[in-house]
Copies of this chain bind each other. A is one copy, B any other.
Amino acid sequence: MNDAEIKSREKAIFEAGIKLGALYHQFTGSPVSPESVDSLEYAIEESIKNQPYVESISVKIDSDLIEENLNRFGYTELTGLMLEVDLTVKVGNTAVHAGIEVVDGYPLMALSRIE
């Protein structure tokens, strides 16, 4: 890799981290139920797509976990454990794939592929 490639690779990795941290702390806590889950997934995708360098994003919220955590009013709050996120960020020629998924009971943010 030449310097410019190193630079865009590192910037892409950094930007991927920013997006995942932002998404998580902006939207966890949102009231959510089986009825409203689709609109929340979609709005999170559309919101984060606005941010620089985002190529694509898929947000899935675990409906089973919502069901298990419903309070007596029929809803719960979005938590990191419910989130499955696949994100692609592109800077220059480098595409970074990263996401959020639950590993060992912890919502882990991780790089999955760089190309």
- Seen from chain A, the residues whose Cβ lies within 8 Å of a Cβ on chain B are 9-11, 13-33, 35-36, 39-40, 42-44, 46-52, 71-75, 77, 80, 98, 104, 106, 109, 111, 114
Contacts and interface: CB of A to CB of B under 8 A. Distances in A.
Interface hub of A16, A30, A35, A72 (most chain B Cβ within 10 A): A30
B50 A73 contact: yes
A55 to B, nearest CB: 14
Contacts of A19: 17, 21
Contacts of A44: 43
Contact of A22 (B21, B39, B51): B21
In the complex, the count of this chain's copies comes to 4
A19 to B, nearest CB: 6
Contacts of A43: 36, 39-40, 42-44
